[in-house]
Chain A
């Protein structure tokens, strides 16, 4: 007979160590998959995890890819820590990009140092407003925020489709579904000649510092953590639950909006239909892999970004199907959840005795 018991004392050190176990298990699992597919697992893993970042360009691309993931995951950590399940970061990213991109288009062909900050601000506000929809519906109408935020992803994507096909499409672009290329004054400055890494990375780092400060040094952070641990306690302590829900959603939306605006003013340079390869969803994995801890999230965003780059490199050099990248991301989450389960619960195998059978 198998009995599952809750563990009472889970050491903190072990709690932060399990993500590493999950990553090691993922690498082992990946090696086995490569072996089954007929590739040399050591060589395949080398192309997957080492080759992509073995030079300066590769490393800068890793940072570029990790930037939006980190930003979104930081935002999501506020929601998840306080038991608010915002699954729609992808939609908030898209809406932020729409608003920010709209401002960039207003200032098309104009110069001014104030344009880029305006564009970035607009993106953050856009994401914030879009995240407020599920938050308000949750606080005042008791709707389920998972469903609402998820469904709003499609709303924002369709809105983007409409805008780039119709009113915002490039007048010289033969009706192709894309806007004009933004002017230089609304593009993120590049950090190095020849590399695509841009000033957006500082937004991500600022978000990390700020979130650490809010979560661990302010009353709001305390409220968030208590609500996450026990909603009843939070109510009993007299916390204003509604305001807090609105605030965490706004923070989360603003971060996603910033990620979106960073992509369109950074490497992409215009609005079109493919501004994000589902960063908003992948960031959920990042948030949990990083244990909802600001510094953990930096680490997790780098690991997950590497699975994207590795999938490309492995296909270029070994012709391993690119979808293994998604398999790796899936495996990381699976192993993390599995080891968490074993961390928080004991599995006891009890031997059957005659006495037990009598009942």
Chain B
């Protein structure tokens, strides 16, 4: 009896203190996993935030928030301090985001790259980065002399495997002898490890270095070794001007502005967004002139076709490493299959770490 009374009292004080969250002025909060100056993942989310700010909406951000016990507090603090829409920009914030969303039904939450939407005020969003990988694969297949593509991979999650597969399929189309060698670094951001991985791949004969990690170390290593490379997440050209053929750019700005305005105007609805080249969430950096005008033209055409839907990154026939058919001739992989992708396609070397 007393115990319950105490419980309710605490809860009442707790709710009283923090429910003062009216429509006085609209604010958007951002939670970043890395520093704003990482020149990769967080840098691009920060650019998106700048665009929201430029659209006349007040914003706040908290950087380098560990994906452990601290995330929930930061998200909750943003919700408590009058933020009406909160973007949590890393996978590890999935559970904390949903937990806080439950206690703040009037605050809208947008979680990047996750799959849980446990409350009606939680949306998820991600980008079809694999479409960019298809373009990289096409370029890599044409540019390689050693027929070996080196790929620095972070974690064996569907998003990363999808990228490896999309790239390999596109490369095989223009160059059937292509081999994809992978080094798993089990980190998203560790310049030292990434540089070592790049060097190891170069030593194994790769003359193209591709990365699914966020630092600029791989492209810089490639520049030094005189092999080709591709930028990741942001336009990394200035870090390796000779080596970079192009970059996959995550452009969150249009989405962030659109969602912020919707939330401000009261038209925000829960959704699961997966945008690609068509909507501009995936964009390409400038193409290196070393590719030659013909290849650039080809790639630009392919980019248009992917955007219009004329070409799909995963068009059958697609086989796994053992030769079993994954996608039948004339069919394309549906989003469900893409979302759960956990096997390599034929032509990728090695096994997925288990």
A313 at the interface (CB under 8 A from B): yes
Contact A274 B67 (CB under 8 A): yes
B155 within 8 A of A: yes
**Which B residues are within 8 Å of any A CB, using their own CB?**
7-8, 10-11, 13-15, 17-18, 29, 60-70, 72-74, 76-78, 80-81, 91-92, 95, 103, 115, 155-158, 186, 340, 342, 352-354
A352 contacts the other chain (CB 8 A):
no
Also in contact, A263 and B342, with CB within 8 A (given A165-B155, A316-B60, A323-B64): no
Tell me whether A175 and B10 are in contact in the complex, defined as CB-CB below 8 angstroms, given that A315-B62, A316-B62, A316-B78 are known contacts.
no
User: Which A residues contact B (CB, under 8 angstroms)?
Assistant: 55-57, 61, 64, 161, 165-166, 174-177, 181, 192-196, 263, 266-269, 272, 274-277, 308-309, 312-313, 315-317, 319, 321-323
Distance A267 CA – B69 CA, assembled complex (angstroms): 6
**What residues of B have a CB within 8 angstroms of the CB of A196 in the complex?**
69, 72-73
Note all chain A residues with C-beta closer than 8 A to B63: 315, 321-322
Contacts of B353 in A (CB 8 A): 165-166
Q: Is the CB of B78 within 8 A of A56?
A: no
Known contacts A175-B157, A277-B68; 6 additional CB pairs below 8 A are A55-B18, A175-B155, A196-B73, A272-B67, A274-B68, A316-B29
- A263-B10 in contact given A174-B157, A312-B73, A322-B63 (Cβ < 8 Å): no
Q: How far is the CA of A263 from the CA of B70 in the complex (A)?
A: 11
Instruction: Check A195/B74 contact, CB under 8 A, given A316-B81, A317-B81, A322-B64.
Output: no
A165 touches B67 (CB 8 A): no
**CB atoms of B62 and A177 under 8 A apart:** no
B342 touches A174 (CB 8 A): yes
Does the CB pair B69–A166 fall under 8 Å? Answer: no
Please indicate the chain B residues that have their CB under 8 angstroms from the CB of A177 in the complex: 155, 186
**Which residues of chain A have C-beta atoms less than 8 A from B91's C-beta?**
176
Q: Beyond A166-B354, A175-B157, A177-B155, is A195–B14 a contact (Cβ under 8 Å)?
A: yes
Among residues of B, the one whose C-beta sits closest to the C-beta of A313 is B77
Give the shortest distance, in Å, between A213 (CB) and chain B (any CB).
30
- When C-beta atoms are compared, the residue in chain B nearest to A192 turns out to be B10
Measured in the bound complex, the distance between the Cα atoms of B157 and A309 in whole Å is: 32
Sorted from nearest, which 9 A-B pairs have the closest CB atoms?
A267-B69, A274-B68, A274-B67, A277-B66, A192-B10, A175-B156, A175-B157, A193-B7, A193-B11
The distance from the CB of A122 to the nearest CB of chain B, in whole angstroms, is 20
Q: Which residues of A contact B14 (CB under 8 A)?
A: 56-57, 194-195
- Which residue of chain A is the closest to B8 with respect to CB atoms? A193
Distance in Å: Cβ of B163 to nearest Cβ of chain A: 14
Minimal beta-carbon separation of A252 from chain B (angstroms): 22
Which of A161, A174, A322 has a CB less than 8 Å from the CB of B62? Answer: A322
Asked if A267 meets B155 with Cβ closer than 8 Å, knowing A57-B17, A272-B92, the reply is: no
Contacts of A319 in B (CB 8 A): 60-61
Name 10 A/B residue pairs within 8 A (Cβ), A-sorted: A165-B353, A174-B342, A196-B72, A274-B66, A277-B68, A308-B70, A309-B73, A312-B74, A312-B77, A315-B63
A165 to chain B, nearest CB (A): 6
B354's nearest neighbour on chain A, judged by CB, is: A166
CA distance A175 to B14 in the complex (A): 37
Q: Measured between alpha carbons, how far is A161 from B15 in the docked complex, in Å?
A: 38
Give min CB distance, A267 to chain B, whole Å: 4
Q: Report A72 CB to chain B, min CB distance, Å.
A: 15
Measured CB to CB, the nearest residue on chain B to A277 is B66
Q: How far is the CB of A258 from chain B (nearest CB, A)?
A: 16
| A192-B77 contact, Cβ under 8 Å, with A165-B156, A166-B353, A319-B60 | no
Residue on B nearest A268 in the bound complex, by CB: B69
Most chain B CB within 10 A, of A175, A192, A274, A308, is at A175
Least CB distance from A323 to B in Å reads 7
In the complex, A266→B92 CA distance in Å?
Answer: 17
Q: Which residue of B lies closest to A181 (CB)?
A: B95
Nearest chain B residue, comparing its CB with the CB of A308 = B70
CB B344 to nearest CB in A, in angstroms, measures 13
Contact B17 A194 (CB under 8 A): no
User: Which A residues lie within 8 Å of B352 (CB)?
Assistant: 175
